A and B are shown apart, each in its own frame.
Chain A
Amino acid sequence: MKVTTIGSLWVYLSASPLLSLFLTTVAYLGSYYLIKQFKLLSKLNLQPAVLAIAALITVLALTGTSYHDYFEGAQFIHFLLGPATVMLAVPIYDNLARIRMMMAPMLLGIGGAVLASAFLTIGLATLFRLPAEMVASFAPKSVTTPIAMGVSQSIGGIPALTAALSLITGIIGCFTGPLVFKLTGAHDHIVKGFTMGASSHGFGTAQSFASISVLAGAFSGLAMGCVGLATALILPLLQVFIR
């Protein structure tokens, strides 16, 4: 009797979005307080989102739940990324005077980011003798996932692989960013934010808002949007380098 009640409870929970929404929220909150509590974790630049992602993957793997089932519920959180992207117009608007003042360097920076990213990824992937379709999947990985997937498709890559590479790049960028800033002695929030947005898209922008400043977040969002747009336009022209 008891087994069937638990069984039917499980059937209800796995069909309803409630469980994955709750787990996602708790994993993030838990990670947030854990990192706040232990200095060692924050010294490693570990972000609450990264820890939460690792925890959730572990839980899903242990319980044998598929990502598809988890996403049925978690899509409600995922959906808010849309309005959150639109929202980035507000901090950009707040800093419009600054952006107008450095229009030319910004445009140079955007072009530089697209070219440097393309040649670094294509060069390294070719060096490692990866097949051409994998090289193409690597090329757009520094931009926001939906743009990266579209570009990957149009230059002969595998969109699903690009999605994963783009997400991992975002996570890696949150670790390496602060190290690079320390190494180069970068202090300026505009440089930091722009770098984070250009190299690790949304993850970098979220990190800029959370652990640098609103100013850095605004420029990170700006870089993310502009580098994404420029990549969609420029990368198909660089396709000749992929073989």
Chain B
Amino acid sequence: MPLLVGMAILLGCQLIGESTARFFHLPIPGPVIGMIILLLGLMVLGRVPEGLRITTNGLTKHLAFLFVPAGVGVMANWSAIEAHLVSIAVILLLSTAGLQLFMVLFMRRTLGSALKNHDEDPVFKEQQR
């Protein structure tokens, strides 16, 4: 039963988010608005309901699985990519790796000293000792 409670909360937030996005013609997808609504709800409530916790733990573990149908969708748009295949591949590779490199260096700099407190990497902690 708690699993269903969790599912109902998630679907309810998505429904509100989806309706808000459509009603106000927002460029933001419904689920993202639903996420904000749920976050506000949790902040007001002050805790995570048991059912929601169970559903969340189940979904986080298999999040990547849910992307498979969307990923297969690349084949549907293949004709648009084929014409400029090489330049698209190079641009995507360089811009993605470049953005990641920038983000790591930038976040390290801006987060600064706050970083040392939450390193969860056990191997690194071992090396530090």
Contact = CB atoms under 8 A, between A and B. Distances in A.
B94 A86 contact: no
B68 A74 contact: yes
Contacts of B59: 80, 83-84, 87
Given A49-B65, A130-B87, A190 B115 contact: yes
A142 B7 CA distance: 29
A184 interface: yes
Interface in A127-186: 128, 130, 134, 138, 141-142, 144-147, 150-151, 154, 158, 160-161, 163-165, 167-173, 176-177, 179-181, 183-184, 186
Nearest to A71: B69
A154 B120 contact: no
Contact of B73 (A61, A83, A167, A232): A167
B111 A102 contact: yes
Nearest to A50: B71
Q: Is the interface of B mostly helix, strand, loop or mixed?
A: helix
B68 A113 contact: no
Contact of B110 (A88, A108, A141, A205): A108
B68 A213 contact: no
B35 interface: yes
Contacts of B24: none
A113 B107 CA distance: 10
Nearest to B39: A89
A78 B70 contact: yes
B2 interface: no
Contacts of B110: 104-105, 108-109, 112
A189 B119 CA distance: 6
Contact of B97 (A53, A176, A191): A176
Nearest to A129: B87
B1 interface: no
Interface residues of A, number: 114
A24 B107 CA distance: 37
Contacts of B124: 187
Contact of A176 (B61, B91, B100): B100
Contact of B114 (A102, A147, A158): A102
Interface in B79-120: 80-81, 84, 87-88, 90-108, 110-112, 114-115, 118-120
Q: Is the interface of A mostly helix, strand, loop or mixed?
A: helix
Interface in A105-133: 105, 108-109, 112-113, 116-117, 120-121, 124-125, 128, 130
Contact of B27 (A48, A96, A112, A150): A150
Nearest to A112: B106
A128 B95 CA distance: 13
Nearest to A96: B43
B32 A144 contact: yes
A36 interface: no
Nearest to A218: B60
Contact of B14 (A86, A124, A154, A232): A86
A222 B67 CA distance: 18
23 contacts: A25-B65, A28-B68, A48-B64, A53-B74, A57-B75, A61-B75, A67-B72, A71-B72, A71-B73, A77-B65, A87-B56, A89-B35, A108-B106, A141-B95, A146-B29, A161-B77, A161-B80, A164-B77, A180-B100, A189-B121, A194-B103, A203-B64, A228-B28
